[in-house]
């Protein structure tokens, strides 16, 4: 469980830090492109490196079902299997299991669920999920947790928090002090008392880092920010803080302002698959007819491969024609945009100008608006 974290500079609550892991050092705040099934959709590992990606996320649920941990172990572990020599964080698959409401049954021991692929029945326990992630060989592993939906009654969220704590304790015991660095996941929905209870109980167990889960699941943006306001200050200042499944630009900036260090989201690649491009002026839908004769880049001043070599008109043509290159160019741009956003946030923290950086983004996307769609794995 080799992980070391140091805070290099703080500007308000925003932190610039460095994570030291077996597969390298990671500068934080950091955005992790999502490689759910052992690949970031439409991108090669070399392209991700060229974009500035430092670490990526894999998903235990999906990799367990296909191709299976045995195949990945035989292939030399997840890093070698997918040809990525950087840091890998594997999610426990808890969110995916709990999103399969008609196909799963929760017990104190774990979760019985049916595969979304072939309907076969499986059983995840906290111990099994830890063992699977050790078999995958990731650098950071997540505990099995229960992610309640939004909205959800207080008593049901409290029961989920209690199970999450119980499973976190069992997960920690199952590591035997070996394997990936294990993160606990704070749950509690939009209930302040339950967020505080969850954080208090997990801190008593002592994890390598702490994630905030159960947000960006349909709640209003102001509720998500309120939950971060309650929760982030409770987490240890000397350990990394990870906000799960959040990737909209202003959401990232606002979370960094509240002391969050790590992010992941499928938004950049999924948006690209639907013809969307992230820009500093908002979301651009390249499928629209207005771009047929537009020979400018996706975004003026952008230095990504797509913007320096191709026009909106050409990418519009590719997307409308169903050509794979269109998806690849949009994914390239969106990932570059998001990775550069966190780069600029780190630079602003280092200069002591993060407040001005935050204000800049607030002017582009007022807090009261919900421009960016919510995307989960």
Confidence of residue 96 (pLDDT cuts 50, 70, 90): confident
Res. 116 pLDDT band, cuts 50 70 90? confident
Residue 146 has pLDDT above 70, yes or no: yes
- Report pTM: 0.95
Of 145, 251, 264, 343, the active-site residue reads 264
Alpha helix positions (H), the chain: 45-51, 60-65, 69-74, 78-82, 94-99, 126-136, 154-175, 192-205, 221-231, 249-257, 267-273, 305-309, 312-320, 324-351, 354-364
pLDDT of the residue at 369: 45
Q: Of the given ranges (49-63, 106-120, 201-215, 314-328), which has the lowest mean pLDDT? A: 106-120
| CA–CA gap between residue 133 and residue 260 (Å, rounded) | 24
251 has catalytic annotation: no
Residue 372: what pLDDT?
44
**What does the pLDDT average to over 65-79?**
97
* % residues pLDDT > 90 (the chain): 89
For residue 359, the tally of other CB atoms under 10 A from its CB is 11
Is the confidence at residue 371, as pLDDT, over 80? Answer: no
**Stretch 11-25: mean pLDDT, rounded?**
97
Domain residue ranges of the chain, discontinuous segments joined by +: 4-265, 272-360
Please tell me the predicted confidence (pLDDT) of residue 367. 52
Catalytic residue, candidates 11, 91, 251, 261 = 91
Whether the pLDDT of residue 251 is over 50: the answer is yes
Instruction: Specify the CATH number of the domain 4-265.
Output: 3.20.20.105
Please give the mean pLDDT across all residues of the chain: 94
H or E stretch covering 303: none
CA distances from 120 to 17, 101, 103 (A): 43, 15, 10
- At residue 32 the predicted structure's pLDDT band, cuts being 50, 70 and 90, is very high
- Find the range with the poorest average confidence among 96-110, 161-175, 245-259, 315-329: 96-110
pLDDT per position as a tens digit, 161-184: 999 999 999 999 999 999 999 999
Does 366 have pLDDT greater than 70? no
Rounding to the nearest 10 degrees, give the CA dihedral for residues 292, 298, 299, 305.
Answer: -150
How confident is the model over 279-338, as pLDDT tens digits? 998 899 999 999 999 999 999 999 999 999 999 999 999 999 999 999 999 999 999 999
Q: Is the pLDDT of residue 158 over 50?
A: yes
Q: What angle do CA 49, 53, 56 make, to 5 degrees?
A: 110
Which contacts qualify for 128-133: CB closer than 8 Å, 24 or more apart? 129/60, 129/92, 129/93, 129/94, 129/171, 130/171, 130/174, 130/175, 130/179, 130/182, 131/174, 132/60, 132/64, 132/69, 133/60, 133/90, 133/92, 133/179, 133/180
Q: How much is the pLDDT for 184? A: 98
Residue 278 has which token pair? 């992230």
Please tell me the predicted confidence (pLDDT) of residue 94: 79
Residue 54 CA to residue 248 CA, distance in Å, equals: 19
At a CB cut-off of 8 Å and minimum separation 6, what does 232 contact? 13, 212, 241, 258, 259, 260
Minimum mean pLDDT among 95-109, 156-170, 244-258: which range?
95-109
Mean per-residue pLDDT, 92-97: 82
| Distance from C-alpha of 134 to C-alpha of 197, rounded to nearest angstrom | 29
Q: Is 91 a catalytic residue?
A: yes
């Amino acid at each position: 469980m080799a992980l070391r974290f140091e805070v290099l500079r703080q500007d308000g609550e925003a932190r610039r830090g460095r994570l030291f892991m077996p597969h390298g050092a990671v500068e934080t705040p950091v955005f992790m492109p999502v490689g759910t099934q052992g690949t970031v959709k439409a991108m090669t590992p070399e392209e991700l490196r060229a974009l500035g990606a430092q670490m990526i996320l894999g998903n235990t649920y999906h990799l367990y079902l296909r191709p299976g941990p045995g195949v990945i172990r035989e292939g030399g572990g997840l890093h070698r299997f997918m040809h990525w020599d950087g840091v890998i964080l594997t999610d426990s698959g808890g969110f995916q299991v709990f999103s399969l409401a008609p196909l799963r049954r929760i017990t104190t021991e774990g979760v019985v669920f049916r595969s979304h692929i072939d309907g076969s029945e499986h059983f995840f326990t906290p111990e099994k999920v830890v063992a699977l992630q050790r078999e995958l060989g990731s650098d950071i592993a997540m505990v099995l947790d229960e992610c309640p939906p939004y909205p959800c009654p207080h008593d049901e969220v409290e029961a989920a928090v209690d199970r999450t704590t119980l499973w976190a304790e069992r997960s920690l015991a199952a590591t035997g002090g070996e394997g990936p660095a294990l993160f606990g996941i704070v749950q509690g929905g939009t209930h302040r008392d339950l967020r505080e209870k969850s954080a208090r109980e997990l801190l008593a167990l002592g994890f390598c880092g702490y994630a905030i889960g159960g947000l960006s699941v349909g709640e209003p943006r102001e509720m998500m920010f309120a939950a971060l306001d309650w929760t982030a200050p409770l987490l240890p200042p000397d350990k990394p803080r990870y906000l799960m499944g959040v990737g909209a630009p202003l959401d990232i900036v606002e979370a960094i302002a509240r002391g969050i260090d790590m992010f992941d989201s499928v938004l950049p690649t999924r948006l690209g698959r639907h013809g969307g491009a992230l820009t500093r002026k908002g979301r651009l839908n390249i499928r629209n007819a207005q771009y047929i004769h537009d020979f400018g880049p996706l975004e003026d001043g952008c230095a990504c491969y797509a913007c320096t070599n191709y026009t909106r008109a050409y990418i519009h043509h590719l997307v409308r024609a169903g050509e794979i290159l269109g998806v690849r160019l949009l994914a390239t741009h969106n990932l570059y945009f998001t990775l550069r956003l966190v780069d600029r946030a780190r630079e602003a923290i280092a200069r002591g100008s993060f407040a001005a950086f935050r204000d800049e983004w607030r002017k582009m996307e007022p807090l009261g608006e919900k421009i960016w769609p919510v995307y989960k794995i």
